[in-house]
Amino acid sequence: MSTIARALALLDHFSPDHPRLGLTEMMRLSGRDKATVHRHLTALVQAGYLEQAPDTRAYRLGPALTRLADMRRHTVPEIEMVGALIDDLSRVVGELVHVNRLHGFDLIHLCHAEHHNHPVRVSFDATERPPVLATASGRAFLAFSAPEVVAAALADPGTWDRKDAAPDGVAVRETLATIAAHGFAYNRDTLRLGVSSVAIPVFDADGTPVATCSIAYPTGRGGADFRDRLARHLMAFAPKMTVAMGGVVPARVQKIWAAQGNSTKMADQA
């Protein structure tokens, strides 16, 4: 382990429970010598990765981090950032993973990852632009959006499948409420026969949805249990992705996801 790694590891000891750490505490946490820790800390302060309170002499995370994080947000295209992440997810679940963004009321494909463990798998077409309310992604997005957005979506005739009749506003709102309570949306054969999917929103810094992450799989793969397993994967994954994109998961959603991560049974969605 290099000196650099050892020094940077000091930063990892900060947490919401320990926002400020003193020299001795750092020494204890890292298990290294006091002089060494002190040298490292001062180097980090010098570089702006830490700052030291003049009075208590305690250390806390420094301004350089915000600067660099901003820089990362500005310079790293989210597509690539997200690409690496969903690649991992896809590898774990062995299914097709999508990331979509809502542009107007069109779901636009941002990127996808596919690590096929199974002979039977879902094909897809990145150019497709299905009506928002007909997809798990679209519903997941809207379920966590502001009422005005939902209202606008319902008012727009392009959001529901043109083959169907206009969706009943009340029924749709109920579905969205259920989704918001579950923490995720799903879809079984509704858009394309034989294809099911599970979807979850990704948030920006204001806590409003900016994108969705979804897993698509052949319906034959399994029933509610299989679906819920995937949903739990998504609920563990979405916070990571949200953070990577510089966003924040709203507290209420965080709570739901944490709770659902443990439960085994869930109510049906309309």
Cβ proximity to DNA, 20 vs 252, nearer residue: 20
Q: What's the rounded Cα separation, in Å, for the pair 259 and 253?
A: 10
Cβ proximity to its own copies, 48 vs 218, nearer residue: 48
Cβ proximity to DNA, 33 vs 128, nearer residue: 33
112 binds DNA (CB under 7 A): no
Single residue of 8, 19, 24, 174 touching DNA by CB under 7 A: 24
21, 25, 28, 29: CA torsion to nearest 10: -20
210: closest CA among 108, 130, 141?
141
Task: Give me the residue label for tokens 């930063």.
Answer: 11
114: three-class secondary structure by DSSP: strand
Q: What's the rounded Cα separation, in Å, for the pair 266 and 184?
A: 11
Single residue of 9, 13, 14, 25 touching DNA by CB under 7 A: 25
Residue 58 interacts, among its own copies, DNA, none and using kind-specific CB cut-offs from 5 to 8 Å, with DNA
46 binds DNA (CB under 7 A): no
Please provide residue 6's backbone torsions phi and psi, each rounded to the nearest 5 degrees. Answer: -65, -45
192 binds DNA (CB under 7 A): no
Q: How far is CA 197 from CA 113, 139, 190, in A?
A: 14, 12, 10
Q: What's the rounded Cα separation, in Å, for the pair 10 and 40?
A: 8
128: three-class secondary structure by DSSP: coil
Between helix 224-244 and helix 78-93 the angle, nearest 10°, is 150
- Structure tokens that stand for 126 in this block: 């990145």
Number of Cα atoms under 13 Å in the Cβ half of residue 104: 9
192: three-class secondary structure by DSSP: coil
Shortest Cβ 40–DNA spacing (Å)? 6
Contact region with DNA (CB under 7 A), list: 16-24, 189-197, 219-227, 246-254: 16-24
Single residue of 101, 121, 173, 229 touching its own copies by CB under 8 A: 101
Shortest Cβ 20–its own copies spacing (Å)? 8
**Residues in contact with DNA, total (CB under 7 A)?**
21
Contact region with DNA (CB under 7 A), list: 30-38, 80-88, 102-110, 177-185: 30-38
62 binds DNA (CB under 7 A): no
24 binds its own copies (CB under 8 A): no
Contact region with its own copies (CB under 8 A), list: 52-60, 175-183, 223-231, 259-267: 52-60
Single residue of 32, 115, 192, 221 touching DNA by CB under 7 A: 32
Element (H, E) at 79: helix 78-93
Single residue of 8, 18, 19, 33 touching DNA by CB under 7 A: 33
Footprint of DNA on this chain (CB under 7 A)? 2-4, 6, 22-25, 32-36, 38-42, 52, 57-58
